[in-house]
Chain A
Amino acid sequence: MLGLLKRIGRRVLGTPVQAAPVELPDDPTLTDAHLSGWFHRESQELFEGFPISDEDSVLDIGCGDGTFVRFCAEFGAEVIFADIDGEKIAGVERSLQGSRARGVIPLVTDANPLPLPDARVSKVVAMEVLEHVEDPAQFVQELVRVGKPGAQYLITVPDAVAENVQKHLAPASYFERPNHIRVFQRDEFEKLLTDAGLIVERRAYYGFYWSIWWFFFWACKQELSPPWHPLLESWQRTWGILLSTPDGPRIKKALDEAMPKSQAIIARKPL
């Protein structure tokens, strides 16, 4: 057995270590998002299991800087985007000029209630919003009201595993208004949606890279903008190298399940 070990040893040591600079994807975070199921242009899915077509009316509630709205606009959907921050809404509206969206409706609102009639939209997107709102059940009810029968919902919140770590690392304000005032256990999140009458179609967990990124971020004591601390730069590079290996995606999946940043549910309003 010892002889075998030595032979293996020579094999491992004898293998030339890649000397050439490693080919990195331009932005590993995009590769990571794609592998998580986001932005699948070839199948017109905003997220795996959540296709967008030019027949859709999409409501993005809490749209932020509009990344998801722009994806839906690309495929000709009518886009209704809502945020409490008027400046963000103006920015998203500007970025949609000349887009393929068949309709563009900006809304500055706290969504309580939404200035939309019943059964207005066929798709509802609420990314990382529920953890900020005072009354999530009421909020979801309002989203259900504006969805057509058969409308599809894509809702994400931070995963409890990573949030519970953040509790030891992040400043107290991270868990105060207007930030994350609630941590959803996985079953609680699902119950919130089923209690509102939605039928769950898919659950997904993703974002190990970002879990670690945020943990590191707090240790770096820096502003949430570049230039990034060398630690964060290194982590991005390491993750990029991993994803560029053939088994990288498989490892990412295992780690995403063990320590995701976010949990996503795709659900449907019954016909």
Chain B
Amino acid sequence: MEKLRTWWRGSEPQVDKSAQGDARQYFDSRACGLVDAVQSGWFKNDSGELFSGFPISSEDIVLDVGCGAGAATLWAAKQGAEVIFVDVVEEKIELLREQVQHISARGATGIVCDSTPLPIPDGTASRIMALEVLEHVEDPAKMLQELVRVGQPGSLYLLSVPDARGENIQKTIAPDAYFAPPNHIHIFERDDFARLVEDAGLEVERHTTYGFFWSLWTMFYWAWARSNGIELRGESLDVVNPPYPPLLDDWTKVWHTLIQMPEAAPLKHALDDLLPKSQLIVARKPL
């Protein structure tokens, strides 16, 4: 289950210092993406919410399925929760184990597996996350069932998949591998995603979208990569690091400038709805 990982499941964003001497101001795509994400409701340190409507406290047992580099797991660990993180890539789990050790998590368990089934007893976790995972798996309903099984009654779920509108524009330009195994093999319309979650027995509490910035960024990346003769594979976005090509730096500068402006909030909101990268559901397992 190799994945095209979203940025926030990657490592901590850092501004590339070497590029800062450049005459024109330099904006790091991932730093801008982080500011954008926080404005969308991610990483709310003040209220202890990983995402608006998804609080994590030291009393929680947090399961992160398809954890990738583990930004969500690390955030939960910093809240003092017990964390269980699962990924099919062994190296990711090892790296994360090491990082979690330095944080005051109540407990930390890394598991290498493909999640069907999870080697976890029924009713274990109070918080369950599967971020940009379901679009990769053969049978999303079956995976959700497994996630529901390991959740406590009353537990909260944070589930995200790429938004269909964003995916449909990618289709015009992305390499075929982007929509083939092990990458995105499902495109979920908003209704379909909500129904999938409800059919698994969860109650949807919040359904939202975000990431216009990344929708355009990705389109622009494909354009740049093709014009520079880079062989495109679905996976390659995972490893796109600074320095970025001028087109992406320019787009980042545009977006960074915009979202610092006080008048930008309704604009960002509208674009995040019209052409988002991802859709997110906060749901609850009934008591």
Residues of A within 8 A of B (CB): 1-2, 4-6, 8-9, 11-13, 15, 17-18, 22, 161, 165, 168-169, 215-216, 218-221, 230-231, 234-235, 237-238, 241-242, 245-248, 250-251, 253-255, 258-259
Contact = CB atoms under 8 A, between A and B. Distances in A.
A88 to B, nearest CB: 31
A246 B226 contact: yes
Interface stretch (B48-56, B72-80, B96-104, B255-263): B255-263
Contact of B263 (A11, A13, A221): A221
Interface size bracket, B side: 35 or more
Nearest to A240: B250
A238 B254 CA distance: 8
A215 B173 contact: no
Given A5-B239, A231-B257, A235-B254, A251 B228 contact: no
Contact of A234 (B231, B257, B261): B257
Nearest to A212: B271
Contacts of B89: 1-2
B116 interface: no
Contacts of B267: 165, 168-169, 215-216, 218-219
Contact of A17 (B182, B220, B245): B245
22 contacts: A1-B2, A2-B91, A5-B239, A8-B235, A12-B236, A12-B239, A13-B241, A15-B230, A168-B267, A216-B258, A219-B263, A219-B264, A231-B254, A234-B250, A238-B220, A238-B254, A245-B224, A246-B227, A250-B173, A251-B223, A258-B274, A259-B274
B246 A231 contact: no
B287 interface: no
Contact of B270 (A17, A169, A254): A169
Contacts of A169: 266-267, 270
Nearest to A20: B246
B35 interface: no
B8 interface: no
Q: Secondary structure at chain B's binding surface: helix, strand, loop or mixed?
A: helix
A18 B245 contact: yes
Contacts of A255: 169, 216, 219
Given A231-B258, A234-B257, A250-B173, A17 B243 contact: yes
Given A18-B245, A219-B264, A238-B253, 12 more contacts: A2-B89, A12-B225, A12-B236, A13-B241, A168-B270, A216-B267, A219-B258, A220-B261, A238-B250, A241-B250, A247-B223, A258-B274
A11 B230 contact: yes
A119 B195 CA distance: 56
A12 B236 CA distance: 8
B179 interface: no
A234 B254 contact: yes
Contacts of A165: 267, 270-271, 274
Given A9-B239, A17-B244, A168-B270, A254 B226 contact: no
Of A161, A218, A219, the most chain B CB neighbours within 10 A belong to A219
Contacts of A218: 263, 267
Task: Please provide the 6 A-B residue pairs with the shortest distance between their CB atoms, ordered closest to farther.
Answer: A9-B239, A254-B172, A238-B250, A219-B263, A245-B227, A247-B223
Contact of B223 (A1, A161, A231, A245): A245
Nearest to B243: A17
Given A2-B89, A12-B230, A248 B2 contact: no
A165 B264 CA distance: 13
Contacts of B230: 11-12, 15
A234 B24 CA distance: 12
- Between A8, A9, A253, the greatest number of chain B beta carbons within 10 A of the residue's beta carbon is seen for A8
A242 B223 contact: yes
B246 A22 contact: yes
